[in-house]
Amino acid sequence: MLSKVALGRTGLHVSRLCFGSLTISPLQANLELDKGVRLLMDAYDLGVNFIDTGHTYRSYSYIRELIKQTDEHIVVCSKSFARDYDAMRRELEFCLAELDVDCVDIFMEHATNSLDSLRDRRDAYKCLLKAKEEGLIKAAGISTHSVEVMRAIATDDDIDAIHPLVNIDAVGILHGSRDEMLEQIRIAHERGKGIFAMKPFGGGMLHKRAEQALKFLANIPEIDSIAVGIQRKDELLMNAAILTGRTVSTEMSERLGSYAKQILIEDHCKGCGTCVERCDSGALSVSNGMAVVDRSKCILCGYCGAVCSSFAIKIV
């Protein structure tokens, strides 16, 4: 069974493995509701009590059903791209309604990846602080891919939890190096902030070195939990084995190494450029009326698909 740890000073205790639910949603694997809930229940049976989601993920229905079926409290973190107070409030209230709960454990600014964005979203964050006062959330925080943002928020006492992008090869880290990101994680954790890392496998780029990549983060004491996007039970079992110190069989490693994800841009793309604006990795552009991807920069986060009005972008 996966062990539970304190998530900083939030008062929450979470499993070392956090189930990233974007991958089961309509934006990626598009699992039928019962199959998605079954996979979440399989994770719960292994000790996973921590689920990561977001307003754009369209995965609330799976989590709502999980909450109904489990005896232990499920710790849920959701996130919003909202840029002002009222929009943040609407998306928080939508989350509460969709999950059918009175309080969501953690609510965050989603992908605040520049200092300009941090400043522009100040009123949105004030909404989260007010919601915490009202008992609608237990902890407020920020997710980021950026070292400069981490540096700005690491010692901010209004921030309870941080969801930073970090991995062994620094895939997707903005405005600095892996070691610079880890230094800011250390500082933030010393200030009592809960830290749960994202993209341990670089959005799939490190899938052939999955065991090495996950062990790298697991051995960093300032990282309380690691969010991993999971689509298959094999992936769940491998991640749980690594985080509990068990051996991953050669057969399983080889099988999972064949599951490489890729971004698919379908022919009905309108070339509107909304995805280009959303992509902080600089991996997308528009050419000849269609979005095109630089696969050397894409971290397969799926955020482009979330803003595509014609549903032409998928991670498969």
What does the pLDDT read at residue 268?
A: 87
pLDDT > 70: percent of the chain: 98
pLDDT exceeds cutoff 90 at 291: yes
Q: How confident is the model at residue 312 (pLDDT cuts 50, 70, 90)?
A: confident
The residue-averaged pLDDT of 139-159 equals 98
pLDDT in tens, 92-107: 999 999 999 999 999 9
What residues does CATH 3.30.70.20 cover in the chain? 263-315
Mean pLDDT over all residues of the chain? 94
Q: How confident is the model at residue 248 (pLDDT cuts 50, 70, 90)?
A: confident
pLDDT exceeds cutoff 80 at 9: yes
What residues does CATH 3.20.20.100 cover in the chain? 4-257
What does the pLDDT read at residue 176?
A: 98
What does the pLDDT read at residue 231?
A: 94
The residue-averaged pLDDT of 61-69 equals 98
The DSSP result for 174-203, as a single string, is BSS-HHHHHHHHHHHHHTT-EEEEB-TTGG
Under 8 Å between Cβ of 286 and 271:
yes
At the topology level, CATH places domain 4-257 in: TIM Barrel (3.20.20)
Q: How confident is the model at residue 177 (pLDDT cuts 50, 70, 90)?
A: very high
Under 8 Å between Cβ of 170 and 297:
no
Q: How confident is the model at residue 256 (pLDDT cuts 50, 70, 90)?
A: low
In the CATH scheme, what architecture does the domain 263-315 have?
A: 2-Layer Sandwich (3.30)
pLDDT exceeds cutoff 70 at 254: no
pLDDT exceeds cutoff 80 at 195: yes
Q: Identify residue 185 by its one-letter amino acid code.
A: I
Tell me the C-alpha to C-alpha distance, in Å, between residue 250 and each of 53, 208, 233, 255, 257: 31, 12, 17, 9, 10
> 77-115: buried (b, 16+ CB within 10 Å) or exposed (e) per residue?
bbbbbbeebebbbebbeebbebbebeebbbbbbbbbbbe
What does the pLDDT read at residue 258?
A: 66
pLDDT exceeds cutoff 80 at 283: yes
What does the pLDDT read at residue 87?
A: 98
